[in-house]
Chains A and B, each alone.
Chain A
Amino acid sequence: MARLTFSGGIHPYDGKDMSKSKPIKDVDPKGELVYPLSQHIGTPAKPVVAKGDHVLAGQLIAEAGGFVSAPIYASVSGTVKGIEPRRVVTGDNVMSIVIENDGAYEEVEWPAAIDFDSEEYASMTKEEKLERIRKAGIVGMGGAGFPTAVKLSPKEPEKIEYVIVNCAECEPYLTSDYRKMLEEPERLIGGLKIALSLFDNARGILAVEDNKPDCITRLKHLTKNETKITVKALKTKYPQGSERQLIFAATGRAINSSMLPSDVGCIVNNVDTVIAIYNAVMEGKPLMYRIVTVTGDAIADPRNFRVRIGTIYEELVEEAGGFKEPPVKIISGGPMMGFGIFDLKVPTTKTSSALLCMTKDDVSAMEPSACINCGKCVEVCPGRVVPKKLAEYAEHYDEEAFVKNNGMECCECGCCSYICPAKRPLTQTIKSMRRMQLAKKKK
C-alpha cells in the first residue's frame, strides 16, 4: 500500500532527538503570570476580575467576549496586579491580566471526576458536553487557537464522517505532542471518544507520522477494542500536520482555501486539544496547562515541560538549564511556522508549543539572490501553486495576477522559502500580499 501522504513537502532537519526522550516535567512559576485577553481567534475575552482581587488556580478571570471567543482561567493562586497591555510573542502589545503568584497553588474545588461507565456520563447530552468544552476555554492548541466548541458545532453535525486527531507533529524540533501521546494516551483516546459522541455518523482517526512508531504501536494497542477508532500512520514529511494535507492523507478528501474541513465531513483537532476535551468533560477542569518543548542547540538541557499557561518564557529557559551558548535566534513555536521573538519576557499562551533557541540564524546568514527559475518551489508546494510567480506578482503589487494565479490558495507553510537555492523570501512575500487581500475582503 502506498504510504498515506500528499504531494510536495520537504524534509528539514528535525532536531527531535534533543528532547524526545525527556519525560514531561512540571514547572512551578516563580514570578508573575500574564494572561493576554486575546490568545485565540475571535473576540478578545472580557476580564471578570479587578486589580487587587485574590484568585485561585482554576478560577475564571475573563469570560468569552462573544460566540467565537474563549474564557480564560487563572493557572495559579495569587493577586491580580493589574490589567494592562503586555508584549506577546508576535511583538504586539495586548491587553493582559497580570497575576502575582502567591506560591500556594490553592485550587478551586473540582467536581468529582467521572468515567465512561458512569451514569452521569451516560446521561450527559451533546449540548452539555459542548457547554463544558466551551466553558473550559479550550481552543485549537496546534497554533491557530480557534475556539474548539465552535469547531465542534458545525451547521450539520450529522454530515461529519471523520473526527481526525492531528498527531503528526511535523514541525521540526517539537516533541510536546509526542510526549503526550506516550504519557497520556488514555486521555487522548478518551477525548476522541467524547468528540465522536457529538457526531452520530463519525469515525475517529488518530493520524500519526511514521517517525513515531512507538506511539503508533501504543495507540493501536489501546484502541484495538474501539470499533470506531483507527490509527493511521502517515509518511513523515513537512507539512503533514497542516490541516488540508492531513485530511487528504487520512481520508483522500481535499479542500481549498475557501472551504472548511466540515465541508468534506471532517473535523481536525490537535493532540493537546483532545486531551483538554477529556479533562473538561470528565473532570470539569478548564484549560490551565499546556506542554511546551524548550529546545535548540543554545539550550543546556532541552526538555518538555507542563507549563501553567501565563508563565513567562524566561523561567522555562532557566528550568532547562539556561543557555549553554548565547542564542542568536529565539523562536516561539517551531522553525517553520513559529514567531521569531526578541524578548524572553513574554508569556506562554494556550497556543505555545515550543521555545526554540538557536545559535545560528539561517535567514540572516544567507543573502537572497536572483531567482534562477529552478522550479524547486513548485515541486515542494503542497498547495500546488507556483510560488516563484506569486512572489513576483506580489513584489510588483499585481493584485489581479496574484489572485488569478491562485495566490490565495497558499497555506503559508514555508516550504518554498526553505527549499529556494537563491534564498528568496517567497513565503514571506506571498504572505504579505495574502494578508492585504484578506484585509480588503473584510472591509
Chain B
Amino acid sequence: MSQLMKVSSNPHVRSHITTSNIMLAVIIALLPAAGFGIYNFGLDALILILVTVATTVLTEYIYEKLMHKPVTIGDYSAVVTGLLLALNLPSTAPWWIGVVGGIFAILVVKMLFGGLGQNFMNPALGARCFLLISYTSIMCNFNTDAYSGATPLAQLKAGENVDILKMVIGKTAGTIGETSMIAIVIGACFLILLGVIDLRIPGTYIVTFIVFLCLFGGRGFDPAFISAHLAGGGLMLGAFFMATDYVTRPVTKKGQYLYGVLLGILTGVFRLFGPSAEGVSYAIILGNLLVPLIEKITMPKPFGKGGEHA
C-alpha cells in the first residue's frame, strides 16, 4: 500500500453531535425569548444583549490569547453565557452593566476555574447574583416607558392582583428574557425535541415547586396563585435553560431528579419566606454548589448488580 493508514483504538466511528452544535441549538432556543424581550422593551434591550454577548466572547478570546491557550470561542459556549446573562438583566440597565457582568461571568466564574466544563456554577447566574449584590438599585429598576413599578411577582408578594394572561404572554415588567412564558416554552420544546435537554430536571423542579406552593403558600390549591408564580419571575427561564446547564447539574439520572426537587424547594423557600420576590437565581446557584454531593450519593448501580432495569 502506498500511503499510511490511520490506526486507533476502537471504536472507529463517531456520532455527528458536537459541542458547538449543542450550543448553537441552545442559542436558537433562546431567540424567541430574546426576540420577545426586544419587542417588549425596545432598542435598549437589543443594545444590552449585543454588548453583553460581545463582552463574554471577547473576554474568553483575550484571556485565552494572553494565557497562550487554544482559543475556544468557536464552541459558542461564551455566546450562550452572554445571551443568558443579558436575558437576566433589566432593559433599563446601562450598557456597562453588561460589560461588568460579562467579564465577571467568563473571567471569574468560568476561565479561572479551568474554562468550559470546569466551572462549578452557572457563569450567567453567578454574574447575575454578583450584579444583584453589587448594583442592587440598577438591577431592580424595572421602570420603563411601557411599564412602571413592580414586577408581577413583587405585586403578588404585596398582595395585589395580577393579570395572568399578560404574564403568560409576557407583557409585563421584568428582566429582558424572563417575562414571556410562551416564548421560553417554545424554545424549551425545541431543545427537548432535539434531545439537547430532557424533562427530568425542569419537570421535577416545577412539580416540586407547585407542591411546595400548595403546602406553604397559604392559599391551598389555588390555580390562579400557582399560575402566577409559574409565569412570573425567572422560573421558566431558570428551569429550562439554567437548571439544565450541563456543566453545573448532576450527571447521574437519579441525581437529576434529586436536584430538581431541591431547586423546587429552595425556590419556594426564597419566594415565600425570603425578603425578595425572586428566588430562582439563588436557588440554582445554591443547587450548583451541592452537585458534587448529589452525584456522590446517586452513583448508579451497574448492569448485573441491580442496575440493569434502570
Q: Does residue B299 face the partner (Cβ distance < 8 Å to A)?
A: yes
Q: Is the CB of B304 within 8 A of A12?
A: no
Give chain A residues whose Cβ lies under 8 Å from the Cβ of B11.
Answer: 335-337, 414, 417-418, 427
Complex Cα spacing A418 to B22, Å: 16
Query: How does the 8 Å CB contact mask read for A246-289 relative to B, with 1 for contact and 0 for none?
Result: 00100000111101000000000000000000000000000000
User: B29-81: which residues lie under 8 A (CB-CB) from chain A?
Assistant: 72, 75, 77
Q: Is the CB of A256 within 8 A of B10?
A: no
Complex Cα spacing A326 to B2, Å: 9
Highest count of chain B CB atoms <10 Å: which of A335, A338, A343, A384: A384
Closest beta carbon of chain A to B290's beta carbon, Å: 15
Query: How does the 8 Å CB contact mask read for A417-441 relative to B, with 1 for contact and 0 for none?
Result: 1111111010110010000000000
Closest beta carbon of chain A to B55's beta carbon, Å: 21
Q: Is the CB of B5 within 8 A of A341?
A: yes
Q: Does residue A318 face the partner (Cβ distance < 8 Å to B)?
A: no
Q: Does residue A300 face the partner (Cβ distance < 8 Å to B)?
A: no
Q: Does residue A385 face the partner (Cβ distance < 8 Å to B)?
A: yes
Complex Cα spacing A383 to B310, Å: 11
Give chain B residues whose Cβ lies under 8 Å from the Cβ of A417.
Answer: 11, 14
Interface class of chain A by DSSP: loop
Chain A residue nearest to B75 (CB atoms) is A369
Q: Does residue A361 face the partner (Cβ distance < 8 Å to B)?
A: yes
Partner of A364, one of B3, B6, B117: B6
Which of B90-98, B219-227, B246-254 faces chain A? B246-254
Complex Cα spacing A344 to B3, Å: 12
Partner of B308, one of A254, A340, A418: A254
Q: Is the CB of A378 within 8 A of B252?
A: yes
Q: Does residue B136 face the partner (Cβ distance < 8 Å to A)?
A: no
User: B169-198: which residues lie under 8 A (CB-CB) from chain A?
Assistant: none
Give chain A residues whose Cβ lies under 8 Å from the Cβ of B10.
Answer: 331, 333, 335-340, 414, 427-428
Q: Is the CB of A384 within 8 A of B251?
A: no
Chain A residue nearest to B308 (CB atoms) is A254
Q: Does residue A370 face the partner (Cβ distance < 8 Å to B)?
A: yes
Chain A residue nearest to B301 (CB atoms) is A384
Q: Does residue A147 face the partner (Cβ distance < 8 Å to B)?
A: no
Chain A residue nearest to B309 (CB atoms) is A7
User: A202-249: which residues lie under 8 A (CB-CB) from chain B?
Assistant: 244-245, 248
Known contacts: A254-B304, A369-B75, A373-B246. The answer to whether A329 contacts B6 by CB under 8 A is yes
Known contacts: A328-B6, A340-B5, A383-B302. The answer to whether A369 contacts B13 by CB under 8 A is no
Q: Is the CB of A405 within 8 A of B299?
A: yes
Known contacts: A370-B115, A422-B19. The answer to whether A363 contacts B303 by CB under 8 A is no
Chain A residue nearest to B14 (CB atoms) is A362
Q: Is the CB of A6 within 8 A of B308?
A: yes
Known contacts: A7-B308, A340-B6, A374-B22. The answer to whether A406 contacts B302 by CB under 8 A is yes
Q: Does residue B21 face the partner (Cβ distance < 8 Å to A)?
A: yes
User: B95-117: which residues lie under 8 A (CB-CB) from chain A?
Assistant: 115-117
Q: Does residue A154 face the partner (Cβ distance < 8 Å to B)?
A: no
Partner of A421, one of B17, B248, B300, B301: B17
Give chain A residues whose Cβ lies under 8 Å from the Cβ of B275.
Answer: none
Known contacts: A6-B308, A422-B19. The answer to whether A382 contacts B14 by CB under 8 A is no
Give chain A residues whose Cβ lies under 8 Å from the Cβ of B13.
Answer: 12-13, 172, 335-336, 362, 418
Chain A residue nearest to B256 (CB atoms) is A375
Complex Cα spacing A124 to B6, Å: 51
Give chain B residues whose Cβ lies under 8 Å from the Cβ of A372.
Answer: 19, 22, 77, 116-117, 246-247
Closest beta carbon of chain A to B295's beta carbon, Å: 8
Closest beta carbon of chain B to A85's beta carbon, Å: 20
Q: Is the CB of A409 within 8 A of B117?
A: no
Give chain B residues whose Cβ lies under 8 Å from the Cβ of A378.
Answer: 251-253, 300
Chain A residue nearest to B291 (CB atoms) is A373
Q: Does residue A303 face the partner (Cβ distance < 8 Å to B)?
A: no
Complex Cα spacing A371 to B22, Å: 13
Q: Is the CB of A425 within 8 A of B304?
A: no
Q: Does residue A72 face the partner (Cβ distance < 8 Å to B)?
A: no
Give chain B residues whose Cβ lies under 8 Å from the Cβ of A428.
Answer: 8-10
Q: Does residue B297 face the partner (Cβ distance < 8 Å to A)?
A: no
Q: Is the CB of B251 within 8 A of A373?
A: yes
Closest beta carbon of chain B to A158's beta carbon, Å: 23
Closest beta carbon of chain B to A402's beta carbon, Å: 13
Complex Cα spacing A431 to B75, Å: 28
Complex Cα spacing A219 to B75, Å: 50
Closest beta carbon of chain B to A131's beta carbon, Å: 33
Chain B residue nearest to A340 (CB atoms) is B7
Partner of B252, one of A256, A327, A386: A386
Q: Is the CB of A7 within 8 A of B310?
A: yes
Give chain B residues whose Cβ lies under 8 Å from the Cβ of A135.
Answer: none
Complex Cα spacing A257 to B116, Å: 34
Q: Does residue A159 face the partner (Cβ distance < 8 Å to B)?
A: no
Q: Is the CB of B12 within 8 A of A338?
A: yes
Closest beta carbon of chain A to B297's beta carbon, Å: 13
Given contacts A419-B17, A421-B22, 19 further A-B contacts (CB under 8 A): A7-B308, A248-B308, A329-B12, A333-B10, A336-B11, A341-B5, A369-B75, A370-B116, A374-B22, A384-B301, A384-B303, A384-B308, A386-B299, A409-B305, A414-B11, A418-B11, A419-B15, A421-B17, A427-B9
Report, nearest first, the 3 A-B pairs whose CB atoms are least far apart: A256-B304, A414-B11, A384-B307
Residues of A within 8 A of B (CB): 6-7, 10, 12-13, 91, 172, 244-245, 248, 254-257, 259, 326-331, 333, 335-344, 358, 361-364, 366, 369-376, 378, 382-386, 388-389, 405-406, 409, 414, 417-423, 425, 427-428, 431
15 pairs of residues in contact across A and B, judged by CB atoms under 8 Å? A7-B308, A244-B304, A254-B303, A335-B11, A338-B12, A342-B7, A362-B12, A370-B72, A372-B77, A372-B116, A373-B249, A386-B252, A418-B14, A421-B19, A422-B19
Residues of B within 8 A of A (CB): 1-15, 17-19, 21-22, 72, 75, 77, 115-118, 246-249, 251-253, 295, 299-305, 307-310
